[in-house]
Chains A and B, each alone.
Chain A
Amino acid sequence: MAESIQHIISLSSRLHSHDFLSKSDYDWQIQELISILKRSNYSLLSGGLLTDLDPFEHTLPFLFALLCQIDSVQSRTRSALPEDVKPGGKLWSKTIQFLRTLNSSQICYVWREWCQLVEVILRAAENVGKPLLAVRVTSDAILRVDPTASLFTSFHPTFLRLCLLSQAHSYALPILDKHISRYRTGFELPPKNAGGYILSSDNYTDNHATEATDMSTRLTHRDLSKYYLYGGMIYMALKEWDKALHSLSIVISLPVVNSVSKIMVDGFKKWVLVSLLRHGKLATTPKMISTHVARAYQALAKPYVSLADAFEKGDHHRLRTEADLGKPIWRADCNQGLVHQIFRAYDMFLVLKLGSTFSALTTGHIAKRASSSLGSTTSIESLVACLVMSEVLEAKLLQLQRDEFPTMLRFPTSVRVHSKRRDITRLELLRKGYTLELLARGIGERNNEFRMGHDNIDFLMKCQGWPGISGKGTQGGFDSTIAGVEEDIMGDIN
């Protein structure tokens, strides 16, 4: 037994000095180590020996031993989260130590175990009601292991939930933002196997093909939709409405086979409110939502849709009644906060909209149209001042000399092109250009994976075109392809 521990340690330390090894040797050795670890005796690993080592030098043995110990504690105490695992326990501190110092290049060979460990930590922290303890350390570790954050794993939704619970929203951003700003790696799902683990970076793919199939059974659509819903909620908390809207758009446009999930409906409700807050009207739903899904949304989220309707029509009395009537619903759906913000957004968009109709008007005029919370001219004044200062609105407030006249709000006569604006535009264009480039590359890759190249499509057309001639029903659709095929044949003959 002692021998095998020695063996493991020596193998692992050889790996540590892998500078001298070629890539294939390194791969081979690491696979050998993993197979030894997997074969090793249960009691060998659950002994405390291996976890006394340095986690950076002996990442793999440490990880396996840690998991094994957690498992043995669990089976001994017959509870899912024994005291040792919870914050303050022995295993907790070991795990934290591991997460802080692990060697990321080795972790990517043992995804399954890695995910297990992270999930245990996250759950333990959530269980004792101290989510913040786990959030920061896991966020760092996740990023170290997978700097592109391109891999979707089962702990992603849990991690985001913890961020929400601990209100440590900014810790989630490095991971959330990656998906959205980097499109090439932004696909959390794998090209290769039905599993769910992707590794679009070249050096990962080979190593993980086998690993991923093993894990595939555990990911469900629920994890995926939860992840994006939580993502949307984190952005909402940070008032990044654009990103929140995008996240929620993903949730509501997830592909469905036969039914809509409740998470998607929840997402739609939030999406309605967020699009009101962001654009002052209902944004157009993503085009890929099929009609029966859209109908289900409309039916299930009726109060929200009619609230949005009142908002769009600029009818603040109706908006107020809708909001009051729906109070139990907002509370049940946990959307009270968003609905509360609707009124401020209503006033803001009202003022912005007035800018296209008037070039100058008194605050008294605005007060007549604004929602009841802004009855007085002074509160309008402060709202406008706030909007102007936050650069949402380009306008000036003029206080007339005599007191009996209300303050005049003057919108700029024309859209001024100052250099600042031009710079912003240029920067934005550059950034978008870069994103487009990434996107194009992503599409190219996708085409390759789906075998969407011209040659292949031509070939498929040929294959399907011939039976299409004799087949019923398909004839109309295939006319052009048949013609194309015939032409090709003629070309070949010539």
Chain B
Amino acid sequence: MEYLPTEGLDMPSAAPYLSQALGGGTVDLDNINGGLMGLNVRVEDPPKFELESYIANYTGRTRYNRLYVIGTCSTHLAVDALKAAVAEAKGGKDVTRYERAVRAFAEVVPNDPEATLDMHWVDHMQKVVKAETDRLEHELKGYKNNLIKESIRMGNEDLGQHYHLIGDLSSASKAYSRMRDYCTTPTHIVSMLFKIINVAIERGDWLSVQSNVHRLRNLQSKQEEQAKVQPKLSAALGLSQLHSGSYLDAAYSFLSTDPSLGDSYTEVLTSNDVAVYGGLCALASMNRNELQRRVLDNNSFRNFLELEPQIRRAIAFFCNSKFRSCLEILEAYKADYLLDIHLQRHVQTLFTRIRTKSIQQYLIPFNRVTLDSMSKMFAPGTDGQPTDLNSPFVQELIALIQDGTLDARIDLEKNVLVSKQVDLRTEVQEAVLDNLENYVREAHIRMLRSNIIRAGLEVRADDNTTTKEIRGKRSDGYGSATLSRGPSLFQ
């Protein structure tokens, strides 16, 4: 996890700025992330997936990142996941992530032999990495002297790849960016941009992901080439939109992902992920009609949905107004989603939105609904008096009414929720009167103001002498300021 988790959606764009501002200090960033991640989410429930088969779907650095997130967040899988993470890190060249994994592992199982740092490996690897970096940079310098474009491009690419492997992500993206001037064919450009996108995703630099995706889109290339890159592009774009909190856009992006994606993008996400992300974003942001039309009746997305049948069932239930079943399914899989590296931060928001939408949809046909029937639907299992003012469900309803989401009022005498009836004519009349009042007031103040300025009576610090004189006289017991000039008047 190289990006900073921002809490909720308050500052969706904070992560890129922060990671950019911190620039080369990737090591620091990692530490910060590690600390925050552990604190943020704790998942007690066992997830439905099996760790080994789950992680086998992924390749590349995302394997370690995912294992680490699972290990630090889940209580059930902590040992297995962190052990795997340690092994995974040791298989690579990134020393910092190895240290981090061991540290986390030591917190969970302090006595395990693997919970101590293998200093020998660390020293060795640091030396290897140093030598490799020096070698690649030296080679690049040589290519630059020879002025052969293709060699410089490849030199930069090798360097970028190396930096990426050792976890120096900002240097990696810099090295990849330097390739641009030396790309000669469209294929080169495409591969370069994809490398930048992958690094940016790992860094959590979602702005850069979006801009590079658009750059790739605008590239003039052949039809079949376009078709080849489209699924990856849509997935990457959807991911960046998900992280910036624009769930509807993210839903559209994931929905338009071509099923040919298959296993081709496992260094970032799998088709299963596309189904889950797309399905949840759509559920949270679309209405029932749109869901039916764009998700369930969408032939290409159906391929994804078949991989995650529970998402399809949840959406189908929602479309058929069986909100309770829909919410139950989502609740059952919540642990899985909370352990997903990308979904983790958004699960709460997405779920709340889905729930709020369900309540809204549920109320549409009713003029008045008993609180009992509502709480059976949306808050099953609450003991005692579910319709008491202090019950969480009623409090939730109150919050929804107060922020204007629900247009209804609660009747605590008869325990019903009554939809509001508005008298448009009176409302309009009152609004007009209010506007008039405001207009008249403002016009009065403005006209007064123009007159004051015209008369030169603006408030100013350096009063003219006359004023001071008068004030002075007034201060000594209301001196005869008015009449002191009297005699001259009469002479």
Q: Which chain B residue shows the least CB distance to A180?
A: B444
CB A419 to nearest CB in B, in angstroms, measures 12
User: Is B455 within 8 A of A417, CB to CB?
Assistant: no
Residues 379-396 of chain B: 1 if any A CB is under 8 Å from the residue's CB, otherwise 0? 000000000010000000
B467 CB-CB contact with A under 8 Å: yes
B365 CB-CB contact with A under 8 Å: no
User: Is A74 within 8 A of B421, CB to CB?
Assistant: no
A450–B461 alpha-carbon span in the complex (Å) = 27
The one of A220, A287, A357 that contacts B409, using a Cβ cutoff of 8 Å:
A357
Give A287-323 interface residues, CB cut-off 8 Å to B: 287-288
User: Is A67 within 8 A of B486, CB to CB?
Assistant: yes
Q: Which residues of B contact A287 (CB under 8 A)?
A: 442
User: Is A255 within 8 A of B452, CB to CB?
Assistant: yes
User: Is B436 within 8 A of A432, CB to CB?
Assistant: yes
A170 CB-CB contact with B under 8 Å: no
CB B264 to nearest CB in A, in angstroms, measures 51
The one of A42, A123, A360 that contacts B412, using a Cβ cutoff of 8 Å:
A360
User: Is A259 within 8 A of B490, CB to CB?
Assistant: no
CB A10 to nearest CB in B, in angstroms, measures 21
Give A427-457 interface residues, CB cut-off 8 Å to B: 428-429, 432, 435-436, 439, 442-443, 446, 449-450
A253–B486 alpha-carbon span in the complex (Å) = 36
User: Is B486 within 8 A of A68, CB to CB?
Assistant: yes
B154 CB-CB contact with A under 8 Å: no
CB A385 to nearest CB in B, in angstroms, measures 18
User: Is A365 within 8 A of B398, CB to CB?
Assistant: no
Q: Which chain B residue shows the least CB distance to A428?
A: B433
User: Is B461 within 8 A of A259, CB to CB?
Assistant: yes
Give A193-246 interface residues, CB cut-off 8 Å to B: 194-196, 198, 216-222, 224-225, 246
Q: Which residues of B contact A216 (CB under 8 A)?
A: 455
The one of A80, A187, A408 that contacts B413, using a Cβ cutoff of 8 Å:
A408
The one of A187, A257, A442 that contacts B460, using a Cβ cutoff of 8 Å:
A257
User: Is B423 within 8 A of A417, CB to CB?
Assistant: yes
The one of B401, B454, B462, B487 that contacts A189, using a Cβ cutoff of 8 Å:
B454
Known pairs A68-B486, A189-B454; A288 contacts B447 (CB<8 A): no
User: Is B460 within 8 A of A221, CB to CB?
Assistant: yes
Give B338-396 interface residues, CB cut-off 8 Å to A: 389
B410 CB-CB contact with A under 8 Å: yes
A395 CB-CB contact with B under 8 Å: no
A286 CB-CB contact with B under 8 Å: yes
Q: Which chain A residue shows the least CB distance to B412?
A: A361
User: Is B477 within 8 A of A80, CB to CB?
Assistant: yes
A186–B44 alpha-carbon span in the complex (Å) = 71
B411 CB-CB contact with A under 8 Å: yes
User: Is A218 within 8 A of B466, CB to CB?
Assistant: yes
User: Is A439 within 8 A of B440, CB to CB?
Assistant: yes
A493–B404 alpha-carbon span in the complex (Å) = 61
A56 CB-CB contact with B under 8 Å: no
CB A255 to nearest CB in B, in angstroms, measures 5
Q: Which residues of A contact B427 (CB under 8 A)?
A: 415
User: Is A415 within 8 A of B490, CB to CB?
Assistant: no
Give B403-448 interface residues, CB cut-off 8 Å to A: 409-414, 418, 420-423, 425-427, 429-430, 432-433, 436-437, 439-448
A146 CB-CB contact with B under 8 Å: no
User: Is A68 within 8 A of B490, CB to CB?
Assistant: yes
**Interface residues of A toward B: which range?**
35 or more
Q: Which residues of A contact B449 (CB under 8 A)?
A: 253-255, 288
User: Is A357 within 8 A of B410, CB to CB?
Assistant: yes
User: Is B459 within 8 A of A257, CB to CB?
Assistant: yes
B483 CB-CB contact with A under 8 Å: yes
CB B396 to nearest CB in A, in angstroms, measures 13
B458 CB-CB contact with A under 8 Å: yes
User: Is A191 within 8 A of B433, CB to CB?
Assistant: no
A219–B481 alpha-carbon span in the complex (Å) = 13
A410 CB-CB contact with B under 8 Å: yes
Q: Which residues of B contact A115 (CB under 8 A)?
A: 482
User: Is B467 within 8 A of A220, CB to CB?
Assistant: yes
A421–B427 alpha-carbon span in the complex (Å) = 12
A362–B439 alpha-carbon span in the complex (Å) = 40
CB B320 to nearest CB in A, in angstroms, measures 31
Q: Most chain-B CB neighbours within 10 Å: which of A191, A220, A258, A286?
A: A220
B187 CB-CB contact with A under 8 Å: no
B299 CB-CB contact with A under 8 Å: no
Q: Which chain A residue shows the least CB distance to B460?
A: A257
A255–B463 alpha-carbon span in the complex (Å) = 15
Q: Which residues of B contact A225 (CB under 8 A)?
A: 459
A361–B426 alpha-carbon span in the complex (Å) = 26
User: Is A358 within 8 A of B411, CB to CB?
Assistant: yes
CB A234 to nearest CB in B, in angstroms, measures 18
Q: Which residues of A contact B440 (CB under 8 A)?
A: 183, 432, 435-436, 439
Q: Which residues of B contact A84 (CB under 8 A)?
A: none
The one of B389, B420, B447 that contacts A187, using a Cβ cutoff of 8 Å:
B447
User: Is B421 within 8 A of A413, CB to CB?
Assistant: yes
B457 CB-CB contact with A under 8 Å: yes
User: Is B478 within 8 A of A81, CB to CB?
Assistant: yes
Q: Which residues of A contact B460 (CB under 8 A)?
A: 221, 256-259
Q: Which residues of B contact A408 (CB under 8 A)?
A: 413
Q: Which residues of B contact A195 (CB under 8 A)?
A: 455
B453 CB-CB contact with A under 8 Å: yes
CB A360 to nearest CB in B, in angstroms, measures 4
The one of A189, A288, A358, A359 that contacts B446, using a Cβ cutoff of 8 Å:
A288
CB A331 to nearest CB in B, in angstroms, measures 24
A183–B445 alpha-carbon span in the complex (Å) = 10
Known pairs A359-B410, A425-B433; A120 contacts B457 (CB<8 A): no
Known pairs A225-B459, A287-B442; A414 contacts B490 (CB<8 A): no
B56 CB-CB contact with A under 8 Å: no
The one of A45, A221, A360, A414 that contacts B457, using a Cβ cutoff of 8 Å:
A221
A71 CB-CB contact with B under 8 Å: yes
CB B403 to nearest CB in A, in angstroms, measures 11
Q: Which chain B residue shows the least CB distance to A222?
A: B467
A250–B413 alpha-carbon span in the complex (Å) = 47
Known pairs A220-B463, A259-B459; A288 contacts B413 (CB<8 A): no
CB B38 to nearest CB in A, in angstroms, measures 33
Q: Which residues of A contact B11 (CB under 8 A)?
A: none
Q: Which chain B residue shows the least CB distance to A314?
A: B402
A365–B389 alpha-carbon span in the complex (Å) = 8
Q: Which residues of B contact A449 (CB under 8 A)?
A: 454
A257–B440 alpha-carbon span in the complex (Å) = 25
Known pairs A189-B451, A191-B451, A254-B452; A224 contacts B421 (CB<8 A): no
A261 CB-CB contact with B under 8 Å: yes
User: Is A360 within 8 A of B459, CB to CB?
Assistant: no
A220–B452 alpha-carbon span in the complex (Å) = 10
A315–B490 alpha-carbon span in the complex (Å) = 66
User: Is A357 within 8 A of B451, CB to CB?
Assistant: no
A356–B467 alpha-carbon span in the complex (Å) = 54
Q: Which residues of A contact B6 (CB under 8 A)?
A: none
Known pairs A249-B445, A256-B458; A415 contacts B423 (CB<8 A): yes
A-B CB contact pairs (8 Å), 11 listed: A71-B483, A183-B444, A187-B448, A190-B455, A219-B457, A356-B409, A359-B411, A361-B410, A429-B433, A439-B440, A449-B454
Query: A residues within 8 Å of B by Cβ?
Result: 38, 40-42, 45, 67-68, 70-71, 74, 80-81, 115-116, 119-120, 123, 127, 180, 183, 186-191, 194-196, 198, 216-222, 224-225, 246, 249-250, 253-261, 264, 286-288, 356-362, 365, 398, 408, 410-411, 413-417, 421, 425, 428-429, 432, 435-436, 439, 442-443, 446, 449-450
Query: B residues within 8 Å of A by Cβ?
Result: 389, 398, 401-402, 409-414, 418, 420-423, 425-427, 429-430, 432-433, 436-437, 439-463, 466-467, 470, 477-480, 482-483, 486-487, 489-491
Give the 7 A-B CB pairs with smallest separation, nearest first.
A189-B451, A257-B460, A414-B421, A259-B461, A359-B409, A360-B413, A71-B486
14 other A-B residue contacts (CB within 8 Å) besides A189-B457, A436-B436: A71-B486, A183-B443, A188-B448, A189-B454, A189-B455, A255-B458, A257-B458, A259-B459, A360-B413, A361-B413, A417-B423, A421-B426, A442-B447, A443-B447
